[in-house]
Amino acid sequence: MMTLESFWQRHARYLLPLGTVYDMAMRIRSTSYACGVLSSRRSPLPVVSVGNLTLGGSGKTPLTMWLAEKLVEKGFRPGIVSRGYARKTHPHEVVIVSDGHTLRAQPHEAGDEPYMMAYYLPHIPIAVCKDRLRAIETLAQATHIDCVILDDGFQHLRLSRDFDLVIVDSRVMREHVFPAGYLRESPKALARASAFAVVLDEDQDGDTFLSWIRSRWPKIPSFPMHFSPAYLEDLGTHSRMPLSSLQGKRVFAFAGIANPERFFRSLTELGSSVVPCPLPDHYHYDDAAVSALVSQARRFHCDALVTTAKDAVKLLPYAPTKELPLWVLHQTVEIDCSDHLLDAICHALRSRPTES
């Protein structure tokens, strides 16, 4: 079956004119907001946006979670607001996923990423709505948050923000604007950023890419960011396991995420023999789907099934599986000179007085 990536690679040259038109439309939109032709709405609370320039997975959700925990350590009471992609509830309905004490929505009501964040960050209030300002106002009334992290907010210019943290990876050097490629906007849009979190892919020349970013936008601070495996979780017992548990094991790895290759590669590097099973992003699990995955794992004589944290929260009703253990690979975010980044974000959040 032809994947979206292979389709783009095969037909990109035919889609370039459409990409040019889309790029022009996005530039006009951005300029309209910058010049005041279109007005951005102001949140009652200070806002830091975490976003990117590319379609698909780049690490926005792990970075959002990392930032939420760091802001708590700095004395803030952050909430997280997201659109809630692929949820079954109405896009303009505000859904409080968590009030910071209790999970108040299911994955199909919240969306995969917001539910995952709420599950693993039970002390952080989270809300979803296409109208992010309504989500912020509703969350502020229902909880005691004093600032907001806007998940995937770089292109949401309708809402003003106090700090724009933008994830960039090497695709911005070589890709075209949608639909001819993965870019949501031209790389020129990165001039709006307050700071860059630069993903250094081991398959690319990280130093060259970092130098390119710093030469193109010398006034915007850039911070190298790394994702690395942290530990395994047995989803049946919720116990932590060392990464060494993977060594020598044959595992059936499945993932309904935008970039599963990185996940499969991590498992291989940790010493396991991987049977990969990529699934569509935001994949919906049910009894039949889980049974089929277990059957495939048994057919390949695997020792365990392994999945991602995003998939795991949707699999809780089906764990433990009777035939094979189900493990979750958790990852950690590491940012070089993160204290300098956090100081800049905290300064921006404290500089704007909270509106009553």
| SS3 assignment for 48-60 | EEEEECECCCCCH
Please state the domain count of the chain.
2
Is the same domain home to 285 and 147?
no
In a domain, 128, yes or no: yes
- 1 pLDDT band, cuts 50/70/90, is very low
What is the distance between the alpha carbons of residues 114 and 27, in angstroms, rounded to a whole number? 29
- 19 pLDDT band, cuts 50/70/90, is confident
Identify the helix (H) or strand (E) that includes residue 308: strand 304-308
pLDDT of residue 289: 94
More confident residue, 188 or 202: 188
Q: Which pTM does this prediction carry?
A: 0.90
How many residues comprise the chain? 356
Among 3-17, 160-174, 188-202, which stretch is predicted with the lowest mean pLDDT? 3-17
| CATH number for 276 | 3.40.50
| CATH number for 150 | 3.40.50.300
Rounded average pLDDT over 183-192: 90
Is the same domain home to 214 and 242?
no
Is the same domain home to 212 and 305?
no
Instruction: At 140, list the tokens.
Output: 């502020």
Is the same domain home to 342 and 298?
no
pLDDT of residue 338: 96
pLDDT of residue 202: 60
Cβ count near 61 (within 10 Å): 22
Is the same domain home to 214 and 311?
no
Q: What is the pLDDT of residues 280-335, one digit of tens each?
A: 988 999 999 999 999 999 999 999 999 999 999 999 888 766 679 999 999 999 99
Q: What is the pLDDT of residues 94-116, one digit of tens each?
A: 999 999 999 999 988 999 999 99
What is the distance between the alpha carbons of residues 7 and 250, in angstroms, rounded to a whole number? 31
Instruction: Give residue 257's domain range.
Output: 237-324
